[in-house]
Structure 1
Amino acid sequence: MTESHPIGHGGRLTIDLAALRANWRHLADVAECPETAAVIKADAYGCGIARAAPALWAEGCRTFFVAHLSEGLTARKAAPEAAIYVLNGFPPGTAQAYRDADLRPVLGSREEVAEWAARNRAGGMRPAALHVDTGMNRLGLSVPEALALASDPMMAEAGLDLLMSHLVSAEVEHDPLTDHQASEFDRVRAAYPHLRASLANSSGDFLASCRADLARPGYALYGGNPRPGRGNPMRPVVRLEAGILQVRDVDAGATAGYNARWTARGPRRLATLSLGYADGYPRSSTGRGEAVVGGVRCPFAGNVSMDLIILDVTGAPEEVLRRGAPATLIGDGLDLDTVGRNAGTIGYEILTGLGRRYERVYRD
């Protein structure tokens, strides 16, 4: 971001598609599965399905996962030949919409299996996945339900081609719950030997016990660390910058922002950025957030407001403190997980909450 490159909004989000592709390739190598898919729900974790899916397809990804029918329709336009699974099942009466777009529902209850099987009987076989709950208690058939239904003719009519479950805490090293889930999943796999199986998410890719036929990484594709507490093996994909609108000097005792929550302890220099919580940057970053200006981390001063953030730039180089100069809010050492911690949340929320007002620049 420079003064010679005016933009329509104060924030610029740069998305590195080459890094996205490299991350998918790295995760595919690590997972050692016959196939590695890509989870592109939440608009490809805020990066844009319309750009992310074709980039991943070009790298060799042939299977995608989304959360909702609407996302599936967007993904189908972006990747016309891909296998696309819709994770959140399907609402009653929408089976024909799935069939028309060649989308594969992830069936998580007996009722969903029955409705899909009935539609297959009426109009020809279309594939679907079967979701078995092994510990999340969120979606999916229980293990006893899945085992009991294995010999039901309805299951064959449902056109199942994939068996899957969802890990609870694969990012926690040596968590016994992960081993329990893998064991339970193996029990169900034995009852459905004709189905491909998928258990590993981004963190699960690094666990031998979670490997199966299809890995389905998500967060790590976009630069998130799949192994918290260790060095991040992924390349950063997103970079968020905002231009400085104004720089001012304040005396000791001066306050900044709504409700005067910040007070200068001495003479300070403040810079205001054209970006706020309306752009998806969490208000909870107040008092803990940072931005990088001229290579120096500068703390937030006062509340994050709807469209503006104030920085204490006293320690930044004088020569960079000018109107239009860039401040980096994601990047330059402020990775997604750090930004998430500073906001009292996780990098997933930061990434998926990236607003629509940013100027988006794609690099490849």
Structure 2
Amino acid sequence: MDDDASRALTRYDAIGGQPVSEAAAGAILTIELGAIRENYRRLKARLNGVRCAGVLKADGYGLGAAQVASALAKEGCDIFFVALLGEGIALRKAIGPGPDIFVLNGLPPGSEPEALAAGLCPVINSPVQLKAWRGTARDAARNLPAAIQVDSGMARLGMAPADVEALAGEAGAFNGIDVRFVMSHLARADEPQQAANEEQRREFERLRKMLPAAPASLANSSGIFLGPEYHHELARPGAALYGVNPTPYAPNPMLPAIRLDAKVAQTREIGAGTGIGYGHTNRADRPLRLATISLGYGDGWHRRAASAAWFEGVRLPFVGRVSMDSIILDISALPAGRLGEGDLVELIGPSQSVDDAAGHAGTIGYEILTSLGARFHRRYTGG
């Protein structure tokens, strides 16, 4: 991405193809690319020389795959993973030739020519996908790159052990395939005490010995913290890059990568007994001062997510239900007149993290990040 395009993307986000300026948006999402770069450096330091990819699926966990890829490339990252072919095609257009882009879910039947044209590497998860890519290589009259994924005990993606064993005895099974990596995925890496981690590691070692010799990749974000025996030749962090805690059993070793601030749309004073919001689920037990902010579940803010905003270190609790486009705050703890229309209050930032917000919603930081909506103005810093 050239500098002019990068600067344009720091100023606007697109809604239906139309730019949204900071002045026009109801909330501001600040993405700290400098923090993402530092998180990559911290993970690299733990890997002690092992190569480190960047996982950019779901548009860089909702933060902008192109912008994140550009930032990580400045740290020497030249391998990226996306989930879907469409994501890979879009990322290739954004970042140009050079870095390897692997498609984790593999290629839908019939889409192999599109992947080839975009210079993408499929992650082959089944004998069907293998056969199709082998045929594409034959038609192209050259070897084509791919990763081979095996299911070591998650039952999600990857070749089943029986498939691997069958392929091991099949002559020419990998003809035309340049196997870049053999990989698998850990199901319980964020629970280091679980025996399932070691069971999966051992099964992975068993299965990959039956496949063409190639560098191995097993560790996701949390897997990096399980120790060197899980690192192999390539680690694939995702959420940790974006500030989600990869060690939920311990303090977060990553820097926060986002801040979300919403604008105050209106303030008011109400008397005791006044019903607040849909269904009057809250009724004032005393005179209150309220502020309505321009953010709601239409922006991906879960109705059960963090139940307060913050302003100058003061907690402002939600009152009433979260609406599609707005949330009502009790601002009685602030001096009268201190908060007015257009002022910003913090939803995610120094006062409450992505993981804090997720805890209130009974979910995980991954879901909070990937739910953040398109109506925000997105401000990129530190790239």
SS at match of 2:266: strand
| Residue aligning to 1:185 | 204
Give a deviation string over 1:286-335, Cα, whole Å, max 9, x none: xx521112211222111111110111122234453222221000102211
Contact 1:41 1:66 (C-alpha < 8 Å) held by counterparts: yes
Alpha-carbon distance in 2 for matches of 1:6, 1:118: 49
Query: Is residue 2:149 matched to residue 1:141?
Result: no
| Residue aligning to 1:218 | 238
Query: Is residue 2:56 matched to residue 1:40?
Result: yes
Whichever residue aligns with residue 245 of structure 2, its letter is: N
Give a deviation string over 1:118-149, Cα, whole Å, max 9, x none: 11112121101111111211111112321331
| Residue aligning to 1:201 | 220
Match of 2:27 among 2, 8, 11: 11
| Residue aligning to 1:233 | 253
Range moving further from structure 2, 53-62 or 188-197: 188-197
Is there any run of 5+ residues in structure 1 with no aligned partner, and where? none
| Residue aligning to 2:363 | 345
Alpha-carbon distance in 2 for matches of 1:261, 1:134: 48
| Residue aligning to 1:323 | 341
Match of 2:280 among 236, 256, 260: 260
TM-score computed with the length of structure 2 as normaliser = 0.90
Query: Is residue 2:289 matched to residue 1:269?
Result: yes
Query: Is residue 2:176 matched to residue 1:157?
Result: yes
Distance 1:6 1:213, change over 3 A: closer
Distance 1:94 1:155, change over 3 A: same
Alpha-carbon distance in 1 for matches of 2:338, 2:204: 56
Contact 1:253 1:265 (C-alpha < 8 Å) held by counterparts: yes
Contact 2:164 2:211 (C-alpha < 8 Å) held by counterparts: no
Deviation at 1:265, TM superposition (A): 2.5
**Number of residues paired by the alignment?**
358
Range moving further from structure 2, 258-267 or 14-23: 258-267
Deviation at 1:189, TM superposition (A): 2.6
Range moving further from structure 2, 226-235 or 215-224: 226-235
Q: Percent identity?
A: 45
TM-score computed with the length of structure 1 as normaliser = 0.94
Contact 2:144 2:176 (C-alpha < 8 Å) held by counterparts: no
Deviation at 1:36, TM superposition (A): 0.1
| Residue aligning to 1:130 | 148
Alpha-carbon distance in 2 for matches of 1:6, 1:54: 23
Deviation at 1:29, TM superposition (A): 1.2
| Residue aligning to 1:94 | 111
Query: Is residue 2:75 matched to residue 1:56?
Result: no
SS at match of 1:185: helix
Contact 2:179 2:212 (C-alpha < 8 Å) held by counterparts: no
Instruction: Give the RMSD, CA atoms, in angstroms.
Output: 1.6
Deviation at 1:243, TM superposition (A): 1.2
Distance 1:187 1:159, change over 3 A: same
SS at match of 2:369: helix
Whichever residue aligns with residue 368 of structure 2, its letter is: I
| Residue aligning to 1:355 | 373
Deviation at 1:50, TM superposition (A): 1.8
SS at match of 1:186: helix
Is there any run of 5+ residues in structure 2 with no aligned partner, and where? 1-20
Give a deviation string over 1:333-359, Cα, whole Å, max 9, x none: 211111011122111111011111111
Range moving further from structure 2, 23-32 or 111-120: 23-32
Contact 2:145 2:178 (C-alpha < 8 Å) held by counterparts: yes
Alpha-carbon distance in 2 for matches of 1:201, 1:316: 44
Deviation at 1:104, TM superposition (A): 0.5
| Residue aligning to 2:11 | none
Contact 1:292 1:332 (C-alpha < 8 Å) held by counterparts: no
Contact 1:33 1:214 (C-alpha < 8 Å) held by counterparts: no
Contact 1:69 1:86 (C-alpha < 8 Å) held by counterparts: yes
